[in-house]
Amino acid sequence: MNAITPIEAGVSVALGAPIDVTIENVQKAFGDTPALHGVSLDVKAGELVALLGPSGSGKTTLLRILAGLDAPTAGRVLFGGDDALGLSVQQRNVGFVFQHYALFRHMTVFQNIAFGLTVRPRGERPPKAEIRKRVLHLLDLVQLTGLDKRYPSQLSGGQRQRVALARALAIEPRVLLLDEPFGALDAQVRKDLRRWLREIHDRTGHTTFFVTHDQEEALELADRVVVMSKGRIEQVGTPDEIYDAPASPFVFEFIGESSFLPVTVVDGAVQLDGQSLDLAALGSPHGEATLGFRPHDVSIVEDGGPAITGTIVTERRHGGARRLELEVGTEKHRVEIDMPVDHSRAPGGQVTFRPHRWRLFPR
């Protein structure tokens, strides 16, 4: 696949004004199996929102309910203040992009992109010349100029997904929905497309939802991230809020790498096995808690002050750092910490460290 160059100035897509989307207490059950337990979310016009969660968290179900491909068991969905659930999938006018592209294999790229326009009833269908102009314009936007006569089988995965996006944009959707759009692509192409999708969004300004299980993708691309687990929303926030102030151990663990230790809070101080760790726990309730920290947010302590001491179990190279797996405390809890690459330590040795950023979650 060709490298994706920045989008040229002058390419623009005609659009209606972007709309707000409101989701109110949406519930969904498949038979007796609940998939969504009352999800509520307000999304402002033009926002790019990531629905992030592990498989089975209900994120794709929520996206399909927004599209009209599934119906909720209860709840309301408003598009710009109007009830969307009363509209069929065709009437809802959403652009949907599938993980496996779902391009029509017997149609050329041109015919694929034009499909949404050519199926319109005679009265609403733009004239042929207009359709042609719009399709070629969209091909420019997704940087596939000149590939209009190719068939999907003659394109790479990244190119196919760009055709799928152009096809979804062709109908001038009110909302753009992307279901794991880069899930089937390899790592380098994903990164290119991610940056490129952000640019397209900034140009076209659609209210956009995209589903992903890749936290890096969600944090990099989205204005706001909705973290979901087991059919519930765990946290909604900007990438900074989600990463720096995770609301639960689940979010902490799902967003980035993490280590946890069971601790006790006594008079506003954190204790491990009865020893103070010199970590101020202001505002945390007295009693049992879980201390969470990220492997790279620790400092090695060599002055003998209060800190966590662990026995090295394994040591391996991890990107630009050296990662140690430690056994800590009398119950030998496993945690991971990062050290500079030039600090090689043999397994069996002792390391003393203190997290300089951490979160406490009462138990």
Partner 1 sequence: MSDGAFTTARLHGASGIHFRPVTMERKRVRLALILISLAFLALFLVMPVLAVFVEAFRGGWPAFAEAIFEPDAAAAIRLTLLVAAISVPCNLVFGVAASWAIAKFDFRGKALLNTLIDLPFSVSPVIAGLIYVLMFGSQSLLGPWLKSEGIQVIFAVPGIVLATIFVTFPFVARELIPLMEEQGRGDEEAALSLGASGFQVFFRVTLPNVKWALLYGVLLCNARAMGEFGAVSVVSGHIRGLTNTMPLHVEILYNEYQFAAAFAVASLLAVLALFTLVVKSVLEWRYADEIAATRRH
- Residues contributing to the site for partner 1 (CB under 8 A): 67-69, 89-90, 93-96, 98, 100, 102-106, 115-116, 119-120, 151-153, 156-157, 164, 167-168, 170-171, 184
Question: Shortest gap between Cβ of 144 and partner 1 (angstroms)?
Answer: 17
CA pseudo-torsion sign 95, 100, 106, 107: positive
Check: CB of residue 165 under 8 Å from CB of residue 206: no
Which residue number, 165 or 337, has a Cβ lying nearer to partner 1?
165
Question: Shortest gap between Cβ of 44 and partner 1 (angstroms)?
Answer: 23
Measured CA distances, 329 to 291, 299, 307, 333 (Å) = 13, 18, 11, 7
Question: Shortest gap between Cβ of 70 and partner 1 (angstroms)?
Answer: 10
- The counts of H helices and E strands in the chain are 9, 20
Which residue number, 96 or 196, has a Cβ lying nearer to partner 1?
96
Which residue number, 189 or 270, has a Cβ lying nearer to partner 1?
189
Which residue number, 145 or 156, has a Cβ lying nearer to partner 1?
156
Which residue number, 40 or 154, has a Cβ lying nearer to partner 1?
154
The two three-digit tokens of residue 128, written as one number: 């042929």
Question: CA 302 to CA 317: how far, in whole Å?
Answer: 23
Question: Shortest gap between Cβ of 104 and partner 1 (angstroms)?
Answer: 6
Question: Shortest gap between Cβ of 71 and partner 1 (angstroms)?
Answer: 14
Sheet arrangement for strand 232-237: 94-97, 175-179, 207-212, 48-52, 224-229, 232-237
Which residue number, 12 or 154, has a Cβ lying nearer to partner 1?
154
Question: Shortest gap between Cβ of 114 and partner 1 (angstroms)?
Answer: 10
What's the 3-state SS for 129-198? Answer: HHHHHHHHHHHHHCCCCCCCCCCHHHCCHHHHHHHHHHHHHHCCCCEEEEECCCCCCCHHHHHHHHHHHH
Question: CA 251 to CA 236: how far, in whole Å?
Answer: 10
